[in-house]
Amino acid sequence: MIDTQQFEEIIGYQFKNKQLLHEALSHSSYANERKKVRRSNERLEFLGDSVLSIIVSRYLFEHFDHLPEGELTKIRASLVCEKSLFVFAQKIRLGEALLLGKGEENTGGRERPSIVADAFEAVIAAVFLDGGLETATEYVLGFLPKDLDKTKRAESFSDYKTVLQEIIQQNPEEKVEYILVEQTGPDHNKAFVVNVCLNSNVIGSGTGKSKKEAEQMAAKEALALMGYGA
């Protein structure tokens, strides 16, 4: 483990309000064990998600003015997804700095992508609240790949569900739902068929060796039909 002082040295930022950093590093399992004396990082995670989105969106908007909305959405989704945030967090040894409850500690919580990625967003929010938007922007942009070439990003992109969700969320009244319609084959070689529906209307169908893979393929087909070139 590393303490908060070591963590500040790693990220290159000294907090004026140390409590913000402590809160950002406090997982709910840790906070629950300490009842009222400690707040978890869940509220900061909520804020950090929005701060991260606006910083990345602004950067892409200003530096990729030749790309249409659909391509920008794909790139942003690939940068702010759990997989990417986990990689970013590993660069600053965030898992080693987390404050976890005994249960999470004993079951490998420091290496769990969902926990570490959420904490990364919480740290972004803490930096934002402590140092302002420009400081948070400088911090976040330091993690972005040097080469965000459109072709390479498109080739490596696979989180079609996130892209579809972001597009649909532009219309709050719309609702996306994934429905398993078929499951065949023995346990060691199953095949799943999933439909993705928009307000009960099927807009894509996908097949995969797992439900998650089938959902991604359904979202990919939906994006293609919507003209986003997935």
| Active-site residue set | 49, 121
For residue 90, the SS3 value is: helix
Give the long-range contacts of residues 17-21, CB within 8 A, separation 24 or more: 17/129, 17/130, 20/44, 20/126, 20/129, 20/130, 21/123, 21/126, 21/130
H, E, C per residue of 95-156: HHHCECCHHHHHCCHHHCHHHHHHHHHHHHHHHHHHHCHHHHHHHHHCCCCCCCCHHHHHHH
CA-based max dimension of the chain: 58
CA distances from 208 to 81, 147, 160, 214 (A): 21, 31, 14, 4
By CB atoms closer than 10 A (0-12, 13-18, 19+), residue 96 is middle
